Structure 1
C-alpha cells in the first residue's frame, strides 16, 4: 500500500473516484427505480462535485482518524489484509454519514434530517459491501499496477 505521500495522494484520488462514482450510480438508481444506462451517464454530473469533497475529507481528516481507530483493535504485527480491512471499515463508517449529509444538502429536494437519515441508512450497507468486495480490491489492483514494488 502507499509508502510515500505522493503514493497516498494517488491512491486516495483513485479510491475517491471509484467509490463516489459507484455510490452516485447507486443513489440515482434508487431515485429512478432501477439501474439503467442513464444512471451511469447521469452520475458524471455529480462526480466533479462529490469526488473532490471525498478526496479532501479522506486525505486530510478521515484517513488519519481511521488509522488511529483501526489500530485501537489491530496490532502492527497483525496480518496486513486484516489491517487493510479494519482501516477500510473505519473509513466507510465515517465517510458514509458525511457524504450522505453533503449529498442531501446538495442534491435532495427535501433537505430534512429525516431525508439525511434515510439517505445514510440506504447508503451505509451498500458502501460497506461495495468497499470491501469490489471497490477496495479493484483500486488496490490498479494501485499495484501503477506502483510496482522492486
Structure 2
C-alpha cells in the first residue's frame, strides 16, 4: 500500500456562524448585565445579578463555540471523526464506505450492520467545499480499504 498524505477536513461556514453567535451572545449578555441597574424598575438588581448575567453570556458563548470543533482526519489506524463533544476512531476494518445522503445535513461513515457515524465536518451548507472534501476523503478511504465509496 502506498503512503497516503494526511488529510484533515474542517467545516467552513459552521465555524464562522459559531464565532459570530458566540460574540453576539457575549456582547448581548454583557450589555444587559452592565445596564441592569441603570433604571429603577421596582426590582432590586445587585452586582451579583450583573456578574451572573455576564457569566451566562460566557457559558452560552462557550456552548456556541462547540460548533467549531468538528473535524475528520485520515489516520494510520482509521478515521478520526470529531463532532461536538468527542472524537471517535473508526478502524479501517470497520469502514464500509463514505456517503452523503441527499437530504442529510452532513456526510457519514458507513460501518457494518447498517450503522453509521456522522461527519459534521463535511456539511451541506459548505457547498463546493463539502463536495471537494467528500471527494478527497473518499479517494483516501478507497485507497485504504480497497473498494469504492458510494
For the aligned pair, the TM-score class normalised by the smaller chain equals under 0.3
Q: TM-score, normalised by structure 2?
A: 0.26
Structure with the largest fraction of helix: 1
Q: TM-score, normalised by structure 1?
A: 0.26
Structure with the largest fraction of strand: 2
Structure number with bigger Rg: 2
